[in-house]
Homo-oligomer: A and B are copies of this chain.
Amino acid sequence: MKSNNLTCPIPFNENERITMAHGGGGKAMQKLIDSCIIETFDNQYLNEKNDSSVLPITNNKIAFTTDSFVIKPIFFPGGDIGSLAVIGTVNDLAVSGAEPRYISAAFIIEEGFLINDLFRIVKSMYETARKVGVEIVTGDTKVVEKGHGDGIYINTTGIGEFNITDLPSSKKIQEGDKIIINGDIARHGMAVMAAREGLEFESTIESDCEELSTIIKKLLDEGIRIHCMRDLTRGGLVSGLVEVIQQTNLSCIIEENKIFVKDEVNAACEILGLDPLYVANEGKFVMIIHQDDENKALKILHESNSGKHAVTIGQVAKTNPGNVLIKNFLGVTRYLEMINGEQLPRIC
């Protein structure tokens, strides 16, 4: 791999902004894409500069997922739209049991956007992808007039390969399975809302934005019988669990006192009138595993950075099929439903 221009200046002035010409298919677009994007992402597939990239695949089953990112603000404590766009798609692949391999990056940029900010985002994507071990192999750039976007929107679409044959699926969930989460919840949503609304707390709320493919690979490699996984993004912990359990004739029973929410996150939730159980995360997943593997799974998680606060929050039962129930501090059990409306707009 040749060195890329992460430390070199790009051929634009510091205050230069995106114009409609940067999306027009001519020289201006070519210069922007070549110097700011292809040079940074730098890999053999992208360097071919074809409309499609030609990619080797070693397996006859792949995972495929897409996500657009419209987060506001685009820079926030703990990440930015670039790192988020890579991590979001990588995590979707990882929870399906696949190892992330390739990612596409498509930008919709609003006229007037600072080219330096675009470059900062592209660098962040590159660095995140390198850390995870995925390559950004194809892309697209569109420009829309001022007033028809919001700085930048990014779509990433990912391809993963399966190195396991017995894939996680809601069909595999059975009574007695343990429900494990890899840490505290609601941090990403509240970090973004606090940054957007200018809320101040004793300590800044940082997004939990983190890739999950490394720890999931480890759990699978060690033979943990993971029946099903979900990353807990839009709609938070409850929506993730409801989505899964609705596809079965079983229920999830979780315990409120096992679910950890940081003090400043709780405070922010209270100010905004939000329930942390429904607030988005970007580095959290639940896994529903064979009950006999609980201790081994927790041990593996606790030895990792992204799972050091992992905990069993509940189990799968036969009563109340299709539902998620929560037992509170007083031992009272209630149903948890998917929220109807919008809890937090544009947090991913």
Instruction: Report if A255 contacts B (CB, 8 A).
Output: no
User: Do residues B66 and A340 form an inter-chain contact, with CB atoms below 8 A?
Assistant: no
Question: How far, in whole Å, are A233 and B160 apart by their CA atoms in the complex?
Answer: 29
Question: How far, in whole Å, are A50 and B65 apart by their CA atoms in the complex?
Answer: 9
Contact for A20 among B150, B169, B340, B345, CB less than 8 A = B345
Contact for A57 among B60, B93, B140, CB less than 8 A = B60
Question: How far, in whole Å, are A125 and B158 apart by their CA atoms in the complex?
Answer: 21
Instruction: Report if A210 contacts B (CB, 8 A).
Output: no
User: Do residues A56 and B64 form an inter-chain contact, with CB atoms below 8 A?
Assistant: no
User: Do residues B138 and A65 form an inter-chain contact, with CB atoms below 8 A?
Assistant: yes
Question: How far, in whole Å, are A222 and B145 apart by their CA atoms in the complex?
Answer: 45
Instruction: Report if A21 contacts B (CB, 8 A).
Output: yes
Question: How far, in whole Å, are A343 and B20 apart by their CA atoms in the complex?
Answer: 9
Which of chain B's residues have a CB closer than 8 A to the CB of A308?
A: none
Question: How far, in whole Å, are A194 and B190 apart by their CA atoms in the complex?
Answer: 46
Given known pairs A24-B339, A345-B20, the reply for A104 and B66 (CB within 8 Å) is yes
Instruction: Report if A96 contacts B (CB, 8 A).
Output: yes
User: Do residues A157 and B155 form an inter-chain contact, with CB atoms below 8 A?
Assistant: yes
Contact for A147 among B147, B153, B346, CB less than 8 A = B147
User: Do residues B343 and A26 form an inter-chain contact, with CB atoms below 8 A?
Assistant: yes
Complex interface bits, A49-78 against B, C-beta within 8 A gives 1, otherwise 0: 111111111111111111111100000000
Contact for A159 among B25, B29, B159, CB less than 8 A = B159
Please give me the residue from chain B that is nearest to A345 by CB atom: B20
Which of chain B's residues have a CB closer than 8 A to the CB of A139?
A: 66
Most buried by B among A93, A233, A278, A340: A340
Instruction: Report if A108 contacts B (CB, 8 A).
Output: yes
Copies of this chain per assembly = 2
Question: How far, in whole Å, are A106 and B156 apart by their CA atoms in the complex?
Answer: 10
Which of chain B's residues have a CB closer than 8 A to the CB of A105?
A: 66
User: Do residues B234 and A64 form an inter-chain contact, with CB atoms below 8 A?
Assistant: no
Complex interface bits, A108-152 against B, C-beta within 8 A gives 1, otherwise 0: 100000000000000000000000000001111011110111100
Instruction: Report if A320 contacts B (CB, 8 A).
Output: no
Given known pairs A27-B340, A30-B338, A142-B70, the reply for A57 and B52 (CB within 8 Å) is no
Instruction: Report if A174 contacts B (CB, 8 A).
Output: no
Given known pairs A60-B58, A338-B26, the reply for A49 and B148 (CB within 8 Å) is no
Main DSSP-derived SS at the A contact region: mixed
User: Do residues B58 and A239 form an inter-chain contact, with CB atoms below 8 A?
Assistant: no
Instruction: Report if A162 contacts B (CB, 8 A).
Output: yes
Instruction: Report if A98 contacts B (CB, 8 A).
Output: yes
Contact for A64 among B23, B137, B169, B339, CB less than 8 A = B137
User: Do residues A26 and B341 form an inter-chain contact, with CB atoms below 8 A?
Assistant: yes
Which of chain B's residues have a CB closer than 8 A to the CB of A346?
A: 23, 142, 144-145
Which of chain B's residues have a CB closer than 8 A to the CB of A339?
A: 24-27
Which of chain B's residues have a CB closer than 8 A to the CB of A41?
A: none
Contact for A54 among B96, B145, B234, B344, CB less than 8 A = B96
User: Do residues A342 and B153 form an inter-chain contact, with CB atoms below 8 A?
Assistant: no
Most buried by B among A21, A102, A278, A345: A345
Q: Which 4 A-B pairs give the minimum distances between C-beta atoms?
A: A25-B234, A25-B235, A24-B342, A157-B157
6 contacts between A and B (CB under 8 A): A27-B339, A58-B60, A67-B140, A143-B345, A148-B148, A159-B159
Known A26-B343, A57-B61, A148-B149; further 17 A-B contacts with Cβ < 8 A: A19-B341, A25-B234, A25-B343, A26-B342, A49-B247, A52-B65, A52-B158, A55-B61, A62-B159, A64-B159, A65-B104, A66-B139, A67-B140, A70-B144, A106-B155, A106-B157, A155-B157
